[in-house]
Amino acid sequence: MPLSHIPIIPIENPQVEIEDLNLYYGESRALKDIRFGIPKANVTALIGPSGCGKSTFIRCLNRMNDLIDAIRIEGGIKIDGENILDPAVDVIELRRRVGMVFQKWNPFPKSIYENVIFGLRIAGVKDKTMLDETVERSLRRAALWDEVKDRLHRSAMGLSGGQMQRLCIARAIAVHPEIILMDEPCSALDPRSTARIEDLIRELRGDYTIIIVTHNMQQAARISDYTAYMYLGELIEYGPTKKVFTKPVKQETEDYITGRFG
């Protein structure tokens, strides 16, 4: 079959490999035989109607679901060849490598400075020069430095929503992750702040692998390199975003992205 007719395209040298992943909440099966590869240093968007398993899926990638007792996971997730579902994996180290940004920004009620270096403090870093450098580097990378450089030691709670979300991205970047998971990072932001976050995502691409859940189809189309469409716990289609949004393989994908579905 030509590549253009394959609903889930193979990725050469994927950084993340999902192998027949199944997830159960008690008796109910929330993820069904998910199998695909996510390329390094690209932006991959997960789209699909509410309840399709997008958020559940990305929470598997840094084992956030471990915190929920009723969840049982089968199958494999490899990051750089290592199975992260192995009980022997150091989850704290995994979450350093795989950072996360949530829908609702969640800065700590501390200063901007302390928010950025929170991960380093936990890790016991005390070197002031190193901490200062990390703060500047991370805030610059998150396109927030110019706005906050004169008030680093003031409370993060005084920032605007868009600024707080960028602060959370800076906090994620500060610990040198390889992958950043974003769960609807713009859904509570106005269009202007959304545009800044989207620009930032495009800039971070290349240095980080970004996996983003979004309900905004246009956003997925604008910022991602690859798009995965999920429905009722299944991966229906996965391919280059350009292709998914011009000529999807599956009718279900087409119906969803053109709004004929639901």
Partner 1 sequence: MAEHLRRGIEELKKKVITMSAVVEENVAKATRSIIERNSELANEVIRGDLNIDQMEVDVEEECLKLLALHQPVAIDLRFIIAVLKINSDLERVGDLAVNIAERSLFLATQPRICMPFDYETMSNLVQQMLGDSIDSLVNLDPRLAHKVRAQDDKVDAMNREMYETVKSEVIGGPEYINCLLHALSVGRHLERIADHATNIAEDVVYLVDAEIVRHTPEYFMD
Q: Which is nearer to partner 1, 81 or 259 (CB)?
A: 259
By CB under 8 A, residue 105 contacts partner 1: no
Rounded to the nearest whole angstrom, what is the least distance from the CB of residue 235 to partner 1 in the complex? 18
Site residues for partner 1, 221-260, by CB under 8 A, read 221, 245-248, 254, 257-260
What number of other Cβ atoms are within 10 A of residue 112's Cβ? 27
Please classify residue 134 by burial: count the beta carbons closer than 10 Å to its beta carbon, then call 0-12 exposed, 13-18 middle and 19+ buried: buried
Q: Of 127, 133, 126, which is closest to residue 174 (Cα–Cα)?
A: 133
Answer for the pair 250, 7: CB distance below 8 angstroms, yes or no: yes
Decide: 94 and 50 in contact? Cβ < 8 Å. Answer: no
Residues 159-218 that bind partner 1 (CB under 8 A): 217-218
Q: How far is the CB of 222 from partner 1 (least distance, A)?
A: 10
Nearer to partner 1, 50 or 246 (CB): 246
Coil, helix or strand at residue 230:
strand
Closer to partner 1 by Cβ: residue 43 or 77: 43
User: What's the closest the beta carbon of residue 255 comes to partner 1, in angstroms?
Assistant: 9
* Shortest distance in whole angstroms from residue 132 CB to partner 1: 44
Structure tokens at 168: 């959370």
Question: For partner 1, which is the closer residue by CB, 193 or 219?
Answer: 219
End-to-end CA distance of the chain: 31
Q: How far is the CB of 176 from partner 1 (least distance, A)?
A: 36
Q: What are the E-state strand segments in 159-213?
A: 179-183, 209-213
Q: What is the DSSP string of 67-100?
A: G-TTEEEEEEEEETTEETTSTTS-HHHHHHHEEE
Report, in Å, the least distance between residue 250 CB and partner 1.
Answer: 11
Nearest to 137 by CA among 202, 207, 189, 192: 207
Choice between 114 and 198, CB closer to partner 1? 198
Tokens for 16, please give them. Answer: 């993340």
Judged by beta carbon, residue 113 or residue 256, the one nearer partner 1 is: 256
DSSP state of 157: G
Shortest distance in whole angstroms from residue 4 CB to partner 1: 9
CB of 11 to partner 1, least distance (A): 22
Helical segments of 151-190, H only: 161-173
Size of the site for partner 1 (CB under 8 A): 12
Residue nearer to partner 1 on the CB measure, 104 or 247: 247
Q: What dihedral do alpha carbons 42, 210, 196, 235 form, nearest 10°? A: 90
Residues that bind partner 1 (CB under 8 A): 217-218, 221, 245-248, 254, 257-260
